[in-house]
Amino acid sequence: MAEDQPSLLQKFVQDELPQELRDLVSNLPMENGWAEKHLYQYQGFWYNPFILQALVTLQKHFHANDNDIFLVSIPKSGTTWLKALAFSIVNRSKYPNFQNHPLINNNPHALVPFLEFDLNSSNEFLPNFNSLSRSSSLFSSSPRIISTHFPYVSLPNSVKESSCKIVYLCRDPKDILISRWHFTNKLRKGITDNFSLEDAFEMFCKGVSPGGPFWDHMLGYWNEGMKSSNNKKIMFLKYEEIKMNPLLVLKELAEFLGFPFSREEEAVGVMDDILKLCSFDNLSNLEVNTNGKTSFGVENNIFFRRGQVGDWKNYLTTEMVEKLNNIIANKLTEHGIQF
């Protein structure tokens, strides 16, 4: 790639529109973006142009396999951790020696690809469907483990209609906000001015954030998972529950994915080994995660900040907390989602 050619990250931030997308976005509601210049509302949710291009293409062409595993989350809900856990569960028979585990030398995002990001591996707004074939290293395993931030309503029909497994991870929206705000300013560094917490808060509360509104994103998977036809297809997880009881959640996750731990594995501490390998302290201090970049141009260390529950207490004012708690109560709690 020529030195003066913008990176994928720069295209993502600078809001470059391919010709084929201009007609679509010209008729969509638009708001100022977070890392990007603008967000566009499509099917009730907000996207930057790059993700919107991928979404429209995937809805038309992506084919899900019945044994696929989809890891879904709204951005900054613990996606990196979930990827590490799921990859380790599914592939533990291939890598019994944790000292030589792929996570030692690979960021979790390199092992479990993002559907919407890794589609465009050539740094162009043209879909590379070769990356979706079984010959690709990203999608060659069986079952395929694929990550996405897409809301349920926008998933390709083949995902909804197949027998694939969907693991949905959510988090206290107050912590999502703070984590997203920090992440955004790391993306904007050197490209544009910092994004104030006050502006981020107001947009978040309006539902205008990448992948937002957060309440509709969570409710989409929650409501689908409550249906009897989907109770074995969708697993709804909370970041806080994993932090509180990681061993129990790991066991339940393995059973849901179809890779339950045997009594022998439990007895010799395989579950404990996986939790230690995938812990925030371990992953964040690995050489691969302190240096290097993802395939879509983001530094690996940007995905590891604090990994704590309740960090919002260090940033939000009493008035902010009250306003956001009221939104959570009105939009989520009455439907059964509590934080």
Cβ atoms 175, 312 nearer than 8 A: yes
Full DSSP string of 185-239: HHHHTTTSPPPPHHHHHHHHHHT-STT--HHHHHHHHHHHHHSGGGTTTEEEEEH
Category of 297 on φ-ψ map: left (φ > 0), alpha (ψ -120 to 50) or beta: left
Query: Phi, psi at residue 169, to the nearest 5°?
Result: -115, 125
Query: Phi, psi at residue 72, to the nearest 5°?
Result: -120, 140
Sheet with 38-42, side-by-side order of all strands: 30-32, 38-42, 45-47
Angle at Cα 258 formed by Cα 272 and Cα 82, nearest 5°? Answer: 50
CA atoms within 13 A on the CB side of 41: 11
**The two three-digit tokens of residue 242, written as one number:** 């994993």
**The two three-digit tokens of residue 36, written as one number:** 């990007």
Active site (catalytic) residues: 149
Query: How, if at all, do strands 45-47 and 38-42 pair?
Result: antiparallel
Q: Cis peptide leading into 49, omega within 30 of 0? A: no
Cβ atoms 266, 197 nearer than 8 A: no
- Of 216, 212, 298, whose CA–CA distance to 39 is shortest? 212
Helix (H, G, I), strand (E, B) or coil at 16: coil
